[in-house]
Structure 1
Amino acid sequence: MANTSIKFAIKSISTEEFATIKNCFKEQETVGIETGYGYGINPSEHTVFVNFSLMFKCQENPFIILKISCGFSIDEEDFLKFENKERNRILIPKGFLTHLTVLTIGTARGILHVKLEKSGLEQFILPTLNISDMFEEDMVFEITSE
């Protein structure tokens, strides 16, 4: 399935958390960025979720916090190709998951821009992130019966 096209659409965008803590930002200090990623699925709705979080920090003190989630609706026929019913697993190809992650990071960049506009912190733009080597193999989700 490595070189086949997977039909999908962005189904949802949710800002789970946003905060600025201006008194933790010190202009003379070096600013660091910490990012986090999480993934989930809803097999009955053929949906893959990408969760992304970021914190801009001075020393260890966060002064900008953003957590978002993007849901991607996968074409049913394509989603069924991911399933291994005998082993109760769904295998999402790493290249496709990388693509969904890049889309989610771009979405986070736009949300961050809008949230920081006219805040005094608008100079903080999420830089490009190289996630091309983030996944060494396809991601496996165990299916639990409900």
Structure 2
Amino acid sequence: MTRFRMFGIHLEQFAILTDKSQNDALSMNTEVNFKYAEEGEKIACYAKFDFSEEQQRLMVLAINCEFEIHNEDFKELRKDGKTIIPKALLEFFAVHTIGTARGILFCKTESTQFNNVIIPPINVSELIQSDMVIE
């Protein structure tokens, strides 16, 4: 198992875009991306959630969680001049980021009509198709 720590959580965007909603048939679009920083063996996972109802955008939440991989474990990810972050590790980062987003959503919607909106279970293995290869 690759050792890591989450060392940063950044709320990139949060907005409630309307004050009128039925909260019945909300749909959610999800985006997950990764960024890599060579110095410090760091990976950032960006997640964005757009909530809408009948073609009207209601709310948006975007966060960025930063992870630092243990130096010794990071060395094992380097091969032939490339750094390969395994799909399974990226999925683990995404799961942590989405869980963090759930907590942020709960706190940010407290005392609003959107407090019952949740980020449902997400199959991250469908969102992440392959290893991340850095030349």
Query: So what's the TM-score if we normalise by structure 2?
Result: 0.91
Matched, 1:115 2:108: yes
Q: Counterparts of 1:59 and 1:83 in 2: how far apart (Å)?
A: 47
**Is 2:56 the counterpart of 1:61?**
yes
Aligned pairs, how many?
135
CA distance in 2, matches of 1:42, 1:98: 18
Residue 71 (1) aligns with residue 66 (2): yes
Instruction: Kindly state the Cα deviation for residue 109 of structure 1 after the two structures are TM-superposed.
Output: 0.4
- Given that 1:29 and 1:59 are in contact with CA atoms closer than 8 Å, whether structure 2 keeps it comes out as no
Gaps of 5+ in 1: none
Deviates most, 126-135 or 105-114: 126-135
Max radius of gyration: which structure?
Answer: 1
Query: 1:92 & 1:137 partners in 2: Cα distance?
Result: 9
Q: How far apart are the structure 2 equivalents of 1:10 and 1:70?
A: 7
Alpha-carbon separation, structure 1, partners of 2:120 and 2:129: 23
Could you say what the CA RMSD is over the residues aligned between the two structures, in angstroms? Answer: 1.6
Cα 1:28–1:105 change in 2 (3 A) is closer
> Structure 1 46/135 Cα, relative in aligned 2: closer, same or farther at 3 Å?
same
Letter in 2 for 1:83: R
Q: Which residue of structure 2 aligns with residue 40 of structure 1?
A: 35
SS of residue paired to 1:105: helix
Cα distance in 2 between the residues matched to 1:110 and 1:141:
31
Cα pair distance change 1:85/1:44, threshold 3 Å: farther
Question: Deviation at 1:79?
Answer: 1.1
Q: Which residue of 1 aligns with 2:46?
A: 51
Q: Does the 8 A contact of 1:16 with 1:69 survive in 2? A: yes
The yes-or-no answer on 1:102 pairing with 2:98 is no
Select 2:119's aligned residue among 120, 126, 134: 126
Describe the superposition over 1:83-141 as per-residue Cα deviations: whole angstroms up to 9, x where unpaired: 2353xx32101111111100100000000000000022101011111123433431112
Contact preservation (8 Å) 2:23, 2:114? no
- Percent identity between the aligned chains? 29
Taking structure 1 as the reference length, the TM-score comes to: 0.85
